[in-house]
Structure 1
């Protein structure tokens, strides 16, 4: 019995070692996303019926002075804000009969009776708050710990690698990668890691002169910071302490915010690039995972320390923000697509077209969920 209790409740066990970190990561990301919808919706004068973390049966809840039901539900895989006039948790367009069932007071604060700009602002606020959360996390980490960097130098070149074939030599210094100036070795890795199979132009500094080399990165299996096997594109160069001259860059609070904005922008760019390449089959499908993979990573991060766990929160928050902006109903991006059409044609999209869009979107979302669950359980 003691062994069972230790396996479940110790920090190495399932409950404290995996489940609690997973719920922490997911709850923070979902709460911030939904809080974005809630705060901007209230600012726009829209009534809110419910703010929920999770789906399914309510475990705990209370009503505030504005009549909003705040609740925690049994299935912790998401959340929603239900505005006045919403007939379901997806804020899909109600039918004319459903709108007519609202009282006069409810119509004034109903979501779907608001000007299109208010609806768009409320919807985009969710992903925007996810990005702001990532910026805030990185700003705190950069301000507290700084950032270790290395000079963009080549200490070694792997024999037979793309770099060797391109004529890159030990002692060369990276100046730019595909036209983007680099200042650290991490900059080089960032610009190369997501470009497997693409020919990349490198400007190198050798003996005081700039030379140009073209190399095509190849995918290689490596371990990430949490110990997971991932495939990243490399050209086969190695840096070390002698050539890289590692140092710690420190930031004051304002500088930390600027660096955090820049870092978040890099992550958004890299994630968008990954999704584009994934759609055409140029990325490893095992890089996408669902709740089981997130739970595993949460447990791994928690074992390394709280700062690793909040970094995972920041990275997942960006991913959730980007996925929600995809122009697929019932995601936030699907709503924005309909509002964009409405702004152009000066009238709401027809109920029939909207219904067809939501049905197709639901099928795509369910298909994606099935795909990542398959990856979690059997595919990778």
Structure 2
């Protein structure tokens, strides 16, 4: 029997996860803009009609929109989605124009735009660093402790005491490295580099597929080699080491995300694994039901996701702006307004199509389509 955290807990958890992350992402843009003397006209959490807000002494309107699925900071003079100077911008008084986003050199604009995703990564680093300090880090070496009978490892001739130094050309230091690599590759054939005694061995192995279902009914496909560790080794880190460990964990998570996305693009993983706001809300409720530590860890993962997605070179996202700033820096002049306009229209169409697609996936994950099919049948 599967458990459900309930609609109220799901909504509360979703607000606890997305609200602060969106606020801090936009705050990163805002702080960087302030540092370079750019005035912010509006800072919004959520989209659509304002339901509450206030105006500070600098003239920035801080507000909440009725649709809590994101947010934005609008800098002075930012009168079109592409952030391009136009006739209205040129008509502004010189002192006001000097405080607009468009008046700043390209390197300052790039820093302001990049500050949002960077803030997301910093949030995750702080969370991971805190967890590493409080609970320690799994440093169990990548040495085989046990080999499951009739497993891929057994078929490859692995033995207890073997040290796996690399998989698929990627160095392996800890058992966590092995788990992260194999989990994402069910059914794939990979190369193993193994140290045994004083010699080195190379083996080819096809990972098995383990299908698991958690207490909430979520089903996961995991790759499995069929080995277990020796004696687990956990090390607590001090405050000086913690940020380094946080950076390492963020880098490892990003690498796993890129691996997963690459597998979906190449067809090695099903596209229905892509999720959107509805699935995030459901998972947030489940993590809250499991406990505060699990929810905080989930917040770190979502923060990394937000940072990564926003850096994709798609117009309308931060990465799209950064791409055009890079082109501007190379060409020594901005991309033409018409090119920018069509690029941002195309980017908006891509994002809308992706939103519809992941929402369709989310509803399917919650069983809506099976329910409708059952009613029709």
* Corresponding residue SS for 2:53: strand
Match of 1:165 in 2: 155
Match of 2:172 in 1: 182
Match of 1:230 in 2: 220
Match of 1:376 in 2: 362
Alignment partners' CA distance in 2, 1:166 and 1:108: 67
**Alpha-carbon distance, 1:158 to partner:** 4.7
Compared with structure 1, are the counterparts of its residues 378 and 13 closer, same or farther at alpha carbon in structure 2 (3 Å cutoff)?
A: closer
Match of 2:240 in 1: 254
Alignment partners' CA distance in 1, 2:218 and 2:6: 19
Match of 1:14 in 2: 7
Alignment partners' CA distance in 2, 1:320 and 1:188: 26
**Alpha-carbon distance, 1:47 to partner:** 1.0
Normalising by structure 2, we get a TM-score of 0.89
Match of 2:369 in 1: none
**Alpha-carbon distance, 1:68 to partner:** 0.9
* Corresponding residue SS for 2:65: strand
* Corresponding residue SS for 1:233: strand
* Kept in 2: contact 1:62–1:69 (CA 8 A): yes
Alignment partners' CA distance in 1, 2:17 and 2:216: 15
Compared with structure 1, are the counterparts of its residues 290 and 276 closer, same or farther at alpha carbon in structure 2 (3 Å cutoff)?
A: same
Greater shift in the superposed pair: 212-221 or 37-46: 212-221
Compared with structure 1, are the counterparts of its residues 131 and 158 closer, same or farther at alpha carbon in structure 2 (3 Å cutoff)?
A: farther
Structure 1: unaligned runs, 5 residues or longer:
1-10
| 1:82 equivalent among 70, 74, 84 | 74
1:155 is the counterpart of 2:155: no
Compared with structure 1, are the counterparts of its residues 148 and 96 closer, same or farther at alpha carbon in structure 2 (3 Å cutoff)?
A: closer
What RMSD in Å do the two structures reach over aligned CA positions? Answer: 2.2
Alignment partners' CA distance in 2, 1:304 and 1:82: 38
1:115 is the counterpart of 2:105: yes
* Kept in 2: contact 1:154–1:173 (CA 8 A): no
Compared with structure 1, are the counterparts of its residues 215 and 118 closer, same or farther at alpha carbon in structure 2 (3 Å cutoff)?
A: same
Compared with structure 1, are the counterparts of its residues 379 and 309 closer, same or farther at alpha carbon in structure 2 (3 Å cutoff)?
A: closer
Match of 1:291 in 2: 277
Match of 1:263 in 2: 249
**Alpha-carbon distance, 1:21 to partner:** 0.9
* Corresponding residue SS for 2:240: helix
Match of 1:7 in 2: none
1:302 is the counterpart of 2:288: yes
Alignment partners' CA distance in 2, 1:115 and 1:218: 53
Alignment partners' CA distance in 2, 1:221 and 1:101: 63
| 2:55 equivalent among 55, 63, 66 | 63
* Kept in 2: contact 1:230–1:287 (CA 8 A): no
Match of 1:350 in 2: 336
**Alpha-carbon distance, 1:124 to partner:** 0.7
* Kept in 2: contact 1:301–1:312 (CA 8 A): yes
Alignment partners' CA distance in 2, 1:227 and 1:128: 34
Alignment partners' CA distance in 2, 1:117 and 1:203: 44
Alignment partners' CA distance in 2, 1:328 and 1:225: 37
Structure 2: unaligned runs, 5 residues or longer:
367-377
Normalising by structure 1, we get a TM-score of 0.88
Compared with structure 1, are the counterparts of its residues 184 and 224 closer, same or farther at alpha carbon in structure 2 (3 Å cutoff)?
A: farther
Alignment partners' CA distance in 1, 2:102 and 2:55: 23
* Corresponding residue SS for 2:98: helix
Q: Deviations over 1:134-159 (max 9, x none)?
A: 00000111111112453432412352
**Alpha-carbon distance, 1:55 to partner:** 0.7
